[in-house]
Amino acid sequence: MPTVWIPSLLRDLTGGHSTVTAKGHTVRELIDFLERDYPGFRQRVCDAHGLRPGLAVVVDAEVARLGLLQPVNEQSEVHFQPAIGGGSSILRPIGAVRTADPTKLW
């Protein structure tokens, strides 16, 4: 089963465990499984639109670009981490507009 690394701010839900195992083939399925064992988990990592803003999911050392649809396998390691933001708007192309599409940066 995939191993899920639990950040310190969510460990109150997992009885203090820093890692747990969960069944699933996607990040969404892992969250659904964790919700059954650790009620409140979904609410803490998701909102009505998917993953909460400011939260990143890393699967096997790669940021999950597909969000909840990101595939996982039996040997996967999944990390829920605060997203790292910032940077300079100078690097943004002139006229660029942010989009809600997770496959596009701007």
* Average pLDDT score, the chain: 84
Give the pLDDT confidence score for residue 89 in this predicted structure. 47
- Cβ–Cβ under 8 Å, residues 43 and 52: no
Task: Provide the pLDDT confidence category of residue 33 given band limits of 50, 70 and 90.
Answer: very high
Residue 57 has pLDDT above 50, yes or no: yes
Residue 61: both structure tokens together? 């050392």
DSSP 26: B
- Residues ≥6 apart with Cβ < 8 Å to 92: 106
CA distance 74 to 90: 42
Task: Supply the pTM of this predicted model.
Answer: 0.75
Give the pLDDT confidence score for residue 44 in this predicted structure. 92
User: Please, what are the domains in the chain?
Assistant: 3-91 (3.10.20.30)
